[in-house]
Amino acid sequence: MILKKGKVLPGNVLKVDSFLNHQMDTSLFCEMGKELYKLFKDEGITKILTIEASGIGIAAVVSLSFGVPVLFAKKHKSKNLVGDFYTSKVESFTHGGVYDILVSKDFLSKDDRVLIVDDFLANGNALVGLIDLVNDAGAVVVGAGIAIEKGYQGGGDKLRERGIRVESLAIVEKMDSESGEIIFR
Ligand code: 5GP
């Protein structure tokens, strides 16, 4: 699907909005869910965690394979959040700047074993923010299931070096916005 429908844009951006993060191919998401379930089925996962907005569709369909709820971190602009939330900060790859993410303490606890699901892994900032949230809750990060990792940006490998199990269904090793060429790891 990436080779058939993906477009390489200047600035290291892979546009996959015809099937992944604008229009959504839910049959493909279903296959992704089956694959992630094969990889993580023995881990006792109790919750899928993602981040709004483009992770939600994928995570919702993937959660059907696991039979567990899906929780998404909300993005919030305010710098002084109060209330019963776990929060952390994420630097945005696509929009620039830093934003807060939060999840309610009602929905994450120390008994949870969490699989993080997201559409893209680039520098890894989104994932690090989500991992911090889960750690804050005292829950366990079992791993991350990613649709597309851009391997050359290094975020995935940094997290693997930290001992986080990162399973990406596709890893782009190289892409060229002039020729449109995409090479996978
Ligand atoms: P990271 O925090 O790993 O640098 O970037 C992850 C987030 O940035 C993803 O949740 C995704 O929304 C966005 N992102 C990063 N690279 C790309 C890309 O090449 N294409 C698109 N469409 N989104 C990207």
Nearest to 108 by CA among 82, 126, 132, 75: 132
Q: Ligand 1 within 6 A of 129 CB?
A: no
Whether the predicted pLDDT of 80 surpasses 70: no
Quick: pLDDT tens for 18-76.
999 999 999 999 999 999 999 999 999 999 999 999 999 999 999 999 999 999 999 97
> How far, in Å, is the centroid of ligand 1 from the Cα of 121?
6
**Confidence class for position 92, pLDDT limits 50, 70, 90:** confident
Q: Ligand 1 within 6 A of 94 CB?
A: yes
Q: Ligand 1 within 6 A of 125 CB?
A: yes
Write the residue with the smallest CA distance to atom 10 of ligand 1.
120
Quick: pLDDT tens for 123-171.
999 999 999 999 999 999 999 999 999 999 999 999 999 999 999 999 9
What is the predicted pLDDT for the residue at 23?
Answer: 98
- 3 vs 23, 149, 173, 175, CA distance in Å? 17, 14, 13, 11
Greater confidence, 112 or 93?
Answer: 112
**Confidence class for position 96, pLDDT limits 50, 70, 90:** confident
> How far, in Å, is the centroid of ligand 1 from the Cα of 13?
8
Q: Ligand 1 within 6 A of 66 CB?
A: no
Nearest to 62 by CA among 32, 19, 24: 32
Determine if the pTM surpasses 0.85: yes
Q: Ligand 1 within 6 A of 121 CB?
A: yes
**Confidence class for position 91, pLDDT limits 50, 70, 90:** confident
Whether the predicted pLDDT of 181 surpasses 80: yes
Write the residue with the smallest CA distance to atom 22 of ligand 1.
15
Q: Ligand 1 within 6 A of 19 CB?
A: no
Write the residue with the smallest CA distance to atom 16 of ligand 1.
122
Q: Ligand 1 within 6 A of 168 CB?
A: no
Instruction: Report yes or no: 36 and 62 within 8 Å, Cβ to Cβ.
Output: yes
What is the predicted pLDDT for the residue at 79?
Answer: 59
Quick: pLDDT tens for 102-131.
999 999 999 999 999 999 999 999 999 999
Instruction: Report yes or no: 7 and 148 within 8 Å, Cβ to Cβ.
Output: no
